[in-house]
Amino acid sequence: MKYPSKIYAIAIARTGGPEVVEKIEIPFPTIQPDHLVIKVQYAGVNFIDTYYREGIYPLNKFPFLIGDESSGTVVGLPTDPAVLNDPDYQKRGYKVGTVVAVNSLGSQAEFISAPWTAVYPAPDNTPPIVAAASLIQGVTAISFMEEAYNVQKGDIILIHTVAGGLGTMMCQFAKSRGAVVIGTTSTREKADFAKKNGADHVILYKEEDTVARVLEITNGEGVHAIFDGVGKDTFESDFRMIRRKGTLVSLGNASGPVPPFAPLKLKDKNVKLLRPTMTNYAYTPSEVLYYANALFTHLSNGTLKPHIYKEYPFTSEGVREAQIDLTSGKTIGKLVIKVSD
């Protein structure tokens, strides 16, 4: 197809509050020989967007294009013969018109050029909105619960913010493996939602003593693993709820980054502590393909079921609203931006 010379994208010109988010016109992205070109239909909204906007994750230049998760259709294939002849590339079966999900920075744009290794091929019958709503949270849930802590039947695990986009998929995946899931959330509406998605016990942290309830449920032993995307506000109490030889997976900074601490803190219970990222589990081409296949298999068989809270317009105001809603704590499930039809 003939590409336009200019496209629209969501960007920030400086760090700050939601007001710094703007829809701007930029040149069509530079296409590298090993890249696929994707016409974006939906973009996922994630806390990492707010981390970049607020300056929690440092930026080297502005304007900075927001977003690292999107879906759409392939409109251009790589031109590098080494890529086209690569067995890992060939296994993916890319062709013009393929529905894909993409984990690449600058994804809230009309078109993106992305390395083929960052593009997850989806089955032909996958709605693009489902692909965008599932990629990061779905692959994070699967990889963290296979590699950070390998959830097994009979494990008792704690998931903070269990009704969010990631919490929901972690809950669903853990239940599919036979675990007992304890979740924390803020409202009764969210608690009911979490129970419908597999949570065995839901603690309303604004009304209950989370530590006391977890210890009550586990007969004082604590849980085998904690998956904590809250960060600063819950980190200290996690050590009171983890059992001896338990695993604490710190995976987000919703309340702010975890402050520095002495490693000696881990010795009281021989706790394992990890701060992983999805992209270091889905890193090599074979790893990405493994998790692509796992994600879309679990979506097709119903193990994972994304819940879309709201679809926002591809405007400055729409993206600002989405980020405000995400950080307010009022949302359930996943937020997406509709970029194009």
DSSP string, 228-256: E-S-HHHHHHHHHHEEEEEEEEE---TT-
Which residues, 6 or more positions from 27, have their beta carbon under 8 angstroms from its beta carbon? 5, 6, 7
Q: How confident is the model at residue 72 (pLDDT cuts 50, 70, 90)?
A: very high
- Residue 302 is predicted with a pLDDT of 95
What average pLDDT does this structure show over 43-58? 94
CATH architecture of 6-135+285-338: Alpha-Beta Complex (3.90)
149-275 folds as Rossmann fold (3.40.50)
- Residue 1 is predicted with a pLDDT of 77
**Nearest 5°: phi and psi at 165?**
-60, -50
Q: Which of 159, 161, 156 is nearest to 218 (CA)?
A: 156
Cα separation, 21 vs 108, whole angstroms: 12
Contact at 8 Å (CB) between 74 and 97? Answer: yes
Contact at 8 Å (CB) between 137 and 57? Answer: no
Burial class (CB in 10 A: 0-12, 13-18, 19+), 149: buried
10, pLDDT greater than 80: yes
Burial class (CB in 10 A: 0-12, 13-18, 19+), 177: middle
Task: Report the Cα–Cα distance between both ends of the chain, in Å, rounded.
Answer: 17
What average pLDDT does this structure show over 179-193? 97
Min mean pLDDT across 7-21, 146-160, 247-261 is at 247-261
124, pLDDT greater than 90: no
- Residue 168 is predicted with a pLDDT of 96
CA dihedral 78, 122, 291, 176 (to 10 degrees): 180
Q: Average per-residue pLDDT in the chain? A: 96
Q: Looking at the chain, which residues constitute the CATH 3.90.180.10 domain(s)?
A: 6-135+285-338
CA angle 299-302-305, nearest 5°? 65
Residues of 56-75 as b/e, b for ≥16 C-beta within 10 angstroms? eeeeeeebbbbbbbbbbbbe
Q: How confident is the model at residue 341 (pLDDT cuts 50, 70, 90)?
A: confident
279, pLDDT greater than 90: yes
Helices (H), 35-127: 47-54, 81-84, 87-92
Q: Looking at the chain, which residues constitute the CATH 3.40.50.720 domain(s)?
A: 149-275
Cα separation, 178 vs 239, whole angstroms: 24
CA angle 229-232-235, nearest 5°? 75
Cα separation, 246 vs 309, whole angstroms: 33
- Residue 33 is predicted with a pLDDT of 98
Cα separation, 177 vs 33, whole angstroms: 41
Cα separation, 307 vs 304, whole angstroms: 10
Cα separation, 238 vs 272, whole angstroms: 12
